[in-house]
Amino acid sequence: MTSRQERLLEVGSLARVEGEGALHLVLDRGRVTEARLNIYEPPRFFEAFLRGRSYTEVPDITARACEMCPVAYQLSACRAIEDAFGVSVGPDVRSLRRLLYCGEWIENHALHIHLLHAPDFLGYPDATELAKDHRAVVARGLALKKTGNDLVELVGGRAIHPVNVRVGGFHRAPPRSELDDFKNRLDDALEAAVLTVRWVAGFEFPDFQTPHALLTLDDPGPKGGARSGGGPRYPIDAGDGVITTAGIGFPLEDFEHFVSETQVAHSTALHARLRGVGTYLTGPLARYNLAGPRLWPVAADAARSAGLGRVERNPFRSVLVRAVELVQAVAEARAIIESYTPPDPPAAAIRPRAGRGYGATEAPRGLLYHRYDLDEQGVITAARIVPPTAQNQAAMEADLRLVAQAGAQLTDAQLTARCEQAIRNYDPCVSCSTHFLRLHRDERRHRHLDPAGS
């Protein structure tokens, strides 16, 4: 006979509009047989909503797909539409875009490290309790976050849902004087970011190795000599191809051939798989493993000092990689401002034409892919958006099975906390809720019946 007992371990008050996370674990005689993570993601709505809209509206509409990474949505969209129209933007626009993107990385990573993930590692229930004992550290996180927010606002015109981005470039290029005022703040931020790496390096990381393939955008860097900083770059705002640890790489236009998405019953997010390979992860761990040699010396030194090896497959150490990427983003932002030339004009000329275009960038939590079909007037006829959280979800579930199995003996509260910590490794959109997880543990206990039936 099989008896089935379902226990609701925690029902958080989360009602975050991006979605609500729920994890359903099935245990059979102490063995975790199933881990189903239910995450709602909104891009499907936006794919439909964009149809019939002019290309000029796309940056502002897609910015609303995610409140945590609007710049990623805007710039992936711009790159896809420019690809369809055959537009190439100049080096000054590219630099300003990278600066804007660095701002988004700084604010996202600072938030994630200090306020969301650090409490897990240090044994605090949330950032408020952490702040009671580590006030200066939380203050540093808030200051870094504010630097990122203000940089996005300075370049993007607004801290949330930036309004200065358009296909081809920007509506307005900030003058040098506005950016020069930011140099000192970035100098302070660089110091704070390096301290953050040292702090995170002292965390105790559960021993775990993810078996999945890793996938990231490949940015060969701008062509055009020293001024444009030629050569491969750490993937942030640009890239024309995809590289993986599975030994395959492909141009962006083949993304949907190599990455298949399937519907699963328990989630509205599609599950992505790499053709011929299976589950994969995108995000900081993938970027570091595949593009680590492209980090700038200040970030590479920080990584080395923190004990990161050339290969790093422990997702619990992705928080450390995020700290290293924080150093990279701050250093790059500082350098871009130092050599900044306002793009003139601020945007390339656009002549709509019928066609299909592909664009991708590296959102803080992983590769964000857009594809658009447009008619000769520049009206969207089809849209496809593949966000990083959906790409990671199947691998997250597989990893969660292993993590939950290792912690099957834990109390309900402990297991919930461990699973939350594990899910935050991948920084899904829902993870910015401190307690976002609704964990169901479904225990199936098998008992042998007495043959006599007594």
Partner 1 sequence: MSSSVPHAKPGGRAAAGAARAASPSIIVIGVGMKMRGDGGFGAAVIEALRAYPAVVDRVRLAACDGEPARMIDLWQGYRCALVLDAVRGGSERHGFVYRRELDPEVGDFGAQPGGTSHAVGLGAAARLAHVMDRLPGRLILYAVHGRDFRLGAPLSGPVAQAVPELAARIGREVLGALAAAAAGAGKPAKGG
- Binding-site residues for Ni(2+) sit at 66, 69, 429
Residue number with CB closer to partner 1 (9 or 159): 159
Structure-block tokens of residue 24: 């359903």
**Residue 410: CB minimum distance to partner 1, A:** 24
Residue number with CB closer to partner 1 (9 or 300): 9
Given 126, 187, 191, 375, the residue binding partner 1 (CB under 8 A): 126
149 binds partner 1 (CB under 8 A): yes
433 binds partner 1 (CB under 8 A): yes
Instruction: List, in sequence order, every residue forming a beta bridge with 382; answer none if it has no partner.
Output: 373
51 binds partner 1 (CB under 8 A): no
| Residues 24-35: b if buried by 16+ CB within 10 A, e if exposed | bbbbeeeebeeb
From residue 10 to residue 49, what is the string marking binding to partner 1 with x (rule CB under 8 A)?
---xxxxx------------------------x--x---x
113 binds partner 1 (CB under 8 A): no
**Amino acid sitting at position 248:** I
Given 9, 122, 160, 379, the residue binding partner 1 (CB under 8 A): 160
Query: Strand 165-166 relative to strand 31-38: parallel, antiparallel, unpaired?
Result: unpaired
Cβ(238)–Cβ(358) below 8 Å? no
| Residues 306-343: b if buried by 16+ CB within 10 A, e if exposed | bebeeebbbbbbbbbbbbbbbbbbbbbbbbbbeebebb
Binding residues with partner 1: total (CB under 8 A): 32
185 binds partner 1 (CB under 8 A): no
Those residues with Cβ within 8 angstroms of residue 134's Cβ, 6 or more apart along the chain or in another chain: 122
Structure-block tokens of residue 203: 């965390």
Residue number with CB closer to partner 1 (64 or 353): 64
Contact positions with partner 1 (CB under 8 A) in 378-417 = none
Query: Strand 380-386 relative to strand 366-374: parallel, antiparallel, unpaired?
Result: antiparallel
- Region of 23-31, 130-138, 206-214, 353-361 interacting with partner 1 (CB under 8 A): 130-138
- Region of 182-190, 230-238, 246-254, 430-438 interacting with partner 1 (CB under 8 A): 430-438
Residue 182: CB atoms within 10 A of its CB come to: 22
Q: How far is CA 364 from CA 61, 294, 359, 378, in A?
A: 20, 17, 16, 29
Given 135, 198, 227, 304, the residue binding partner 1 (CB under 8 A): 135
- Annotated binding residues: 47, 66, 69, 385, 429, 432, 435
Given 240, 246, 434, 440, the residue binding partner 1 (CB under 8 A): 434
52 binds partner 1 (CB under 8 A): no
111 binds partner 1 (CB under 8 A): yes
Q: How far is CA 21 from CA 45, 220, 223, 265, 445, in A?
A: 18, 36, 43, 15, 26
d(CA 19, CA 429): 8
363 binds partner 1 (CB under 8 A): no
From 427, 101, 56, 382, select the one nearest 239 (Cα to Cα): 101
138 binds partner 1 (CB under 8 A): yes
**Interface contacts to partner 1, rule CB under 8 A:** 13-17, 42, 45, 49, 64, 67-68, 111, 115, 126-128, 131-132, 135, 138-139, 141-142, 145-146, 149, 159-161, 432-434
